[in-house]
Structure 1
Amino acid sequence: MSSGELVGVSSPTRRAISTARRVVVKIGSSSLTTAEGGLDDRRLAALVETVAGRMAEGGQLVLVSSGAIAAGIAPLALGGRPRDLATQQAAASVGQQALAHAYAASFARFGLTVGQVLLTADDVVRRSHYRNAHRTLHRLINLGAVPVVNENDTVATAEIRFGDNDRLAALVAHLVGADALVLLSDVDALYDGDPRDGGASAVREVSAAHDLEGIAVGSTGSSGLGTGGMASKVQAARVACSAGIPALLTSADLAREALDRAEVGTVFAATGPRLSARRFWLAHAAGAHGRLHLDEGAVDAVVRRRRSLLAAGITGVEGVFEGGDVVELAGPSGAVVARGVVCFDAAELPGLIGRSSHELPVEQRREVVHADDLAPLT
C-alpha cells in the first residue's frame, strides 16, 4: 500500500500493521466451519481472496489456521466437538485432509502454492525442532508459497498441545520475523465487557498493560467449536508485542479491512524490542523444568541490569533438572520474572545457594544462569 493511501490512519500502530510486509494471520475454527461441523467454503474462499490480494501487492503472508477437528465433525457424524483425546485426533485426521485440500484449491485460483506445516508444542519446546521449523517456514516464504500452519492435532497429546492456535500464532510470528500479527475470530474487537449483554464498549488500542485493567475476558469461543477465547487472543497479542510485533484483533468478516488500513478491531502496540530467536525461545516457547527463587537483589541484577544469576542471590530451588535445562526465576513474591538455561543440576544447588563466589570450591565458581542465557519477563 502506498503512503498516499494511508492518509487518515489513526495511530502509529495501525499504520505499522497496514504497511507490514510480512504478516501472520490466525483464523479460528468458528470462522471457517459451520455450526454443524464441516468447512464453510464461502468463508474460507473469502479469507483466501483477501490474503491473495495482500500478496499481490507485495506482501508475504503466513496463515495459522484452526479448523481441523471441527472440519472432521460432520464427515464422521460426531454431532458435536469431541471431548476425548482419541476422538479429537480421529476428527483431526479427517478434517486436516479436507482443510489442506480446500486451501490448496482456493489459493490455486490465484496462482499460489500452499505449504502445509503441522506443529506440536514439542516442535518449539525442543531447541533443535524450533530451528527446523524456523528454516522450513522461511524457505517456503522465500519460494513464494503460502505456509498454512496448524497444530498437529492428529498426534498431539494433552502434555504437548499448544491448547489453542492463538499462542501458536504468536510463536510463529516471531519464528518468521513477522512485521505484524492479525488474529481473526468471531468477535470484531476486544470489549470492556460482554458485548452480548449490551452497554460494552470496544477497546480500540492497547498501548500498555494498564490499558487492560478492569477488563474481563472469557475463556471459550462462543460457537463451542474452538478451544481459544478472548483470553488466549489477548495473551497471544501480548506475547507478540513483547517481542516487538504489533497485533490486531478483529473478526474474520473484517479480514479485508484489517489487512488494508487496519482501522478495525483492537490493536496492540509493540511494547518490547525485537528479541533474538534464542531469547524469544527462552521466554515464550521453551518448557521449564524447575524454578529458582531469588532475593530482591538478584531480581534487580537479572531483570533490570541484565546480569548473570549467581548462587548468592538464590533462596530456594524447586523441581528436578539438569545443567542445560530451562528454569523459571521467581522473585520474593513468587512471581516469575525471567527464564534461563541453568548451569547446574538441581541436586548440586542446595549446597551453593546464598553463598558468595569466593566461598565456593574453585570448580563451582561460575554463574548459575549466564546473562547470555537469560530472558527477563518484566
Structure 2
Amino acid sequence: MIGSVAASQARQAVSAASRVVVKVGSSSLTTAEGGLDPTRLDSLVDAVAARCAAGSQVVLVSSGAIAAGLAPLGVTRRPRDLATQQAAASVGQLALAHAYANSFGRYSLTVGQVLLTADDVVRRSHYRNAQRTFSRLLALGAVPVVNENDTVATEEIRFGDNDRLAALVAHLVGADALFLLSDVDALYDGDPRKSGARRITEVSGASDVDGVRAGSVGASGLGTGGMASKLAAARLAASAGIPVLLAGAADASRALTSADVGTAFAVTGPRLTARRFWLGHAADATGRLSLDDGAVAAVVDRRRSLLAAGITGVEGTFEAGDVVELVDLSGAVVARGVVGFDAAELPALIGRKSGDLPAEQRREVVHADDLVPLPAR
C-alpha cells in the first residue's frame, strides 16, 4: 500500500505545491440519471477549501455542465449531436456555477467562472488574456472554476475532454501540481472492473506505462474523457515540468493533503516558458516540414535553427509567422515552431545551402528561439 512506503518525490511535490489545478470529471459530480449530486459536490468543495485554507491557490477545472443540464431538459442520456450538447451545457453551466458558488460560500470563498474554447488557448493573444484573468482572480483570493465553453464550441475547435484542458490550464496559470480526480481511484494496466488488472502507483517515465490499456470513455457514460485522456493529460503535464496525482474523487481530501492515494506522475521534462509551452502543445499547426536525419539531429539534439538545406518536403498552406510541425523521414513529429517563410516560398528553397540562396532569403526557416523539440511518444 502507498501509505506503508516512503512518499515519492512526486507525491511530496504535489502535497507541498502552492498553486494547483484540480480537475474533476462529470461522473464524480452527477447522478447516473442526470443532474448534480449535492453531496458529492460539497465533498469536493470541502477538500478544495481545506487546501485553500492551508495556503494554496486552487484553480478548479470542472466537468459536469452537460450532464447537469440533461435532467432539467428531460433528456435521459448524453446526447450525441452537438446542438443538444450545447443546449444542455447552457442550462447545466448555470446550475453548476450556482452550486459551486453556494458550496464555496460555506467557507466565505468567492468563485469566478472561466469558460474557455480551444481558440482561447490556440490564439497567442487569447492565451495571454486568459493568463491575466487567472492571475488577477487568484490575487483577489477567488477560486476560478473552469470548463470548456460547450455552448459555443464547435467540433472543430473543441478540446475534446477536460483532462487535456486541465493540463493546458495548469501550465497557463503556472501551477506547481495537477490533480486529476475521477471515478477511478488510480491508473491500472487494464480495466479495473476486471480481475487481474494491476494498479500502478508511481509513474516516472514512459516505460512505467508500457502495455497500459486505457479505456476512452468514462464508465458512467456521462463524461467524454476516460482513462486514456487522463493518462495523456498526465504525461503532457509531467513532460512540461508539472507533477501529477491521478486519484478518485472520493479520495479528494487525502489527495489534496497527504497525497498518499492514486497514481503519482513524476516530472519528465523541464518547466517551459509560457511561449514555448504554447508553441509545443497548444498552438494550432497549419503545416508540416519534413526533415532529413541531419536536420532532425540539429533541431532535436543540438537545439539549432532549421535551415532550408535540411528540409525534404513541405505540406499545408501557411504564412510566415504561423506554427508548423517538423517531422522526420518516418513522419513522426519531432518539433514544432514558428516558420519564417510562406508555404509558397519554400519549395524553391528546400535542400539548398544558405550560401546558394539570394541574400534576402539567407535566414532560418525556423529560428531556434521559436522552436520546441517534442518528446518521443
Fold equivalence (TM over 0.5) = yes
Which residue of 1 is the match for residue 355 of structure 2? Answer: 358
**1:143-292 counterparts in 2 under 5 A?**
143-292=140-289
Contact 1:9 1:263 in 2 (8 A): no
Which amino acid is the alignment partner of residue 290 of structure 2?
A: H
Aligned match for 2:131, one of 119, 130, 134: 134
Q: Is 1:68 aligned to residue 33 of structure 2?
A: no
Which amino acid is the alignment partner of residue 351 of structure 1?
A: A
Per the normalisation by structure 1, the TM-score is 0.97
Which residue of 2 is the match for residue 3 of structure 1? Answer: none
Per the normalisation by structure 2, the TM-score is 0.98
Aligned match for 1:296, one of 293, 299, 308: 293
**1:93-104 counterparts in 2 under 5 A?**
93-104=90-101
Deviation of 1:189 (Å): 0.5
Q: Is 1:325 aligned to residue 332 of structure 2?
A: no
Which residue of 1 is the match for residue 338 of structure 2? Answer: 341
Deviation beyond 3 Å, 4+ runs, structure 1? 6-9
Q: Deviations over 1:118-156 (max 9, x none)?
A: 000000000000000000001101110000000000000
Q: Deviations over 1:139-192 (max 9, x none)?
A: 101110000000000000001100000000000000111010000011000101
Distance in 2 between the 1:109 and 1:221 partners? 31
SS of the aligned residue for 1:363 comes to: helix
Which amino acid is the alignment partner of residue 315 of structure 1?
A: T
Deviation of 1:9 (Å): 4.4
Distance in 2 between the 1:247 and 1:70 partners? 26
Deviation of 1:197 (Å): 1.2
Q: Is 1:31 aligned to residue 28 of structure 2?
A: yes
Distance in 2 between the 1:205 and 1:236 partners? 16
Distance in 1 between the 2:88 and 2:80 partners? 11
Distance in 1 between the 2:190 and 2:170 partners? 28
Which amino acid is the alignment partner of residue 297 of structure 1?
A: G
Contact 1:9 1:15 in 2 (8 A): no
Which amino acid is the alignment partner of residue 97 of structure 2?
A: A
Q: Is 1:56 aligned to residue 34 of structure 2?
A: no
SS of the aligned residue for 1:163 comes to: coil
Which amino acid is the alignment partner of residue 275 of structure 1?
A: L
Q: Is 1:85 aligned to residue 82 of structure 2?
A: yes
SS of the aligned residue for 2:344 comes to: coil
Deviation of 1:7 (Å): 11
Distance in 1 between the 2:75 and 2:212 partners? 36
SS of the aligned residue for 2:336 comes to: strand
SS of the aligned residue for 2:155 comes to: coil
Which amino acid is the alignment partner of residue 15 of structure 1?
A: Q
Distance in 1 between the 2:247 and 2:96 partners? 22
Which amino acid is the alignment partner of residue 299 of structure 2?
A: V
Deviation of 1:373 (Å): 0.5
Which amino acid is the alignment partner of residue 103 of structure 2?
A: S
Contact 1:296 1:331 in 2 (8 A): yes
Contact 1:204 1:267 in 2 (8 A): yes
Which amino acid is the alignment partner of residue 233 of structure 1?
A: K
Contact 1:89 1:154 in 2 (8 A): yes
SS of the aligned residue for 1:231 comes to: helix
- Root mean square deviation of aligned Cα: 1.1
Which amino acid is the alignment partner of residue 183 of structure 1?
A: L
* Distance verdict in 2 for CA 1:255–1:9, change over 3 Å: farther
Contact 1:9 1:261 in 2 (8 A): no
Distance in 1 between the 2:133 and 2:116 partners? 12
Deviation of 1:21 (Å): 0.9
Structure 1, unaligned runs of 5 or more: 1-5
Q: Is 1:310 aligned to residue 307 of structure 2?
A: yes
Contact 1:183 1:247 in 2 (8 A): yes
SS of the aligned residue for 1:154 comes to: coil
Percent same amino acid at aligned positions?
75
SS of the aligned residue for 1:147 comes to: strand
Distance in 2 between the 1:35 and 1:95 partners? 15
